[in-house]
Structure 1
Amino acid sequence: MLIFIITLLATLLLLTFLCVFLSKNLRKKLAKTNKQCWLIAHVLAVIIYFSGVFGQLLVTISMTFFTEQSEIYTGILFISYFDHYLTIPGALASFFTGIWLALRTHWGGLTKYYWVLIKWVGNMLAIFFGALITGNVVYNLFPKILSSGLHPLQNPLYLQSRRMLFLGIGVSMSLLTFLVIISYLKPWGKRKNT
């Protein structure tokens, strides 16, 4: 797990530094049409990201009412599908497009405005926390539950994993909601030391 965490953080930082490096070599800011296209891509990525996390939340809530083993296994499968096809791609795309917009528009980089800095760090935290909690439950604990031979409702690991999943999804949804709100409000203004 430690190797995964280090790899994830290194990947996010490498993606950030790659964007900064490429941006430094492109002196001109994005033209209005290009900026609008990147902004649309960013908003769509955030929608996909939100949809994945919200879908996982709905399935996790539904699983509290499932009693049949096949229903529970299907719920676990759907949670992993939401993660693979919506949450992870949406998170990475919103991370990349957000950095690119911050670097290539009048916002002037990742650290010039407090709200941009908070969004960058907050998105890394959301990705990190989602991978740490939700990813651990979906890809490490649920397979152990499926292979245990016990009915999931008789397996304490399943009940604990479901609670951890609620926690992980709740924190992710809270962080994402906060990031969307500050994207709209753009609070706190410009940093003084930039």
Structure 2
Amino acid sequence: FVITLLAILLLLSLLCVFISKKFLKKLAHKKKQWWLIIHVISVIIYFSGIFGQLLVTISMTFFSEQSQIYVGILFVSYFDHYLTIPGALASLFTGIWLALRTHWGGLTKYYWILTKWIGNMFAIILGSSITGNVVYNLFPQILSSNLHPLQNPLYFQSRKMLFLGISISFSLLTFLVVISYIKPWGKRKIR
């Protein structure tokens, strides 16, 4: 699954590069501003989804009623479906588009752009493998079990995995936002 997702993300990135190089010129100032606004809004949506998942996962440690736990699981999946996934994909592709069609000159010319591109793909893969596995594979097993979730060891293991995965994604996303602002490391030396 991870290899397939990575291949799809790389293929779509290369498609953006191909389209940008063959058919399109650099963005005019106004268009660049609009693309940047869409990119920032996408990152906010992505950040909101991850932060919401993190808060619900932390809150689930205090839930004792079975219905509260089920609702917590449901909210984590809603955050994933309606905020995290669309925000992640939109921020990835608007970021690629901006890197290709502005003065930044592509995905590999500056270290910070390359880091953001790879970091965002890593966050998407991490989120879909850990969060996706827990939310769509393990939690349904817990819900279909006759045991109360607090009596099921799989629930505690799944909640820990979810917390760890979301925490790593949140930290990585925070790092990517910071390097977007400070633009460290400069230009790559290409021979």
**Normalising by the residue count of structure 1, what TM-score does the alignment of the two structures yield?**
0.97
SS of match in other structure, 1:64:
helix
Distance 1:151 1:57 in 2: 23
Question: How much does 1:7 deviate?
Answer: 2.2
Distance 1:95 1:28 in 2: 20
Which of 14, 19, 23 does residue 22 from structure 1 map onto? 19
Question: How much does 1:26 deviate?
Answer: 3.1
1:47 and 2:44 correspond: yes
Question: How much does 1:27 deviate?
Answer: 4.5
Which of 154, 160, 165 does residue 163 from structure 1 map onto? 160
Aligned counterpart, 1:94? 91
Instruction: Write the deviation string for residues 32-79 of structure 1: whole angstroms up to 9, x where unpaired.
Output: 010000000000000000000000011011110000000000000000
Distance 1:153 1:101 in 2: 47
1:80 and 2:77 correspond: yes
Aligned counterpart, 1:34? 31
SS of match in other structure, 1:118:
helix
Q: Which amino acid aligns with 1:50?
A: F
SS of match in other structure, 1:167:
helix
Distance 1:45 1:84 in 2: 14
Q: Which moved more, 1:9-18 or 1:84-93?
A: 9-18
Question: How much does 1:28 deviate?
Answer: 1.9
- Equivalent pairs counted in the alignment come to 191
Q: Which amino acid aligns with 1:115?
A: W
Distance 1:33 1:193 in 2: 31
1:154 and 2:143 correspond: no
Distance 1:10 1:171 in 2: 22
Percent identity (aligned):
79
1:122 and 2:83 correspond: no
Question: How much does 1:100 deviate?
Answer: 0.3
Q: Which amino acid aligns with 1:57?
A: L
List structure 1 segments (4+ residues) > 6 angstroms apart after TM superposition: none
Aligned counterpart, 1:60? 57
Instruction: Write the deviation string for residues 103-128 of structure 1: whole angstroms up to 9, x where unpaired.
Output: 00000000000000000000000001
Aligned counterpart, 1:136? 133
Distance 2:104 2:156 in 1: 46
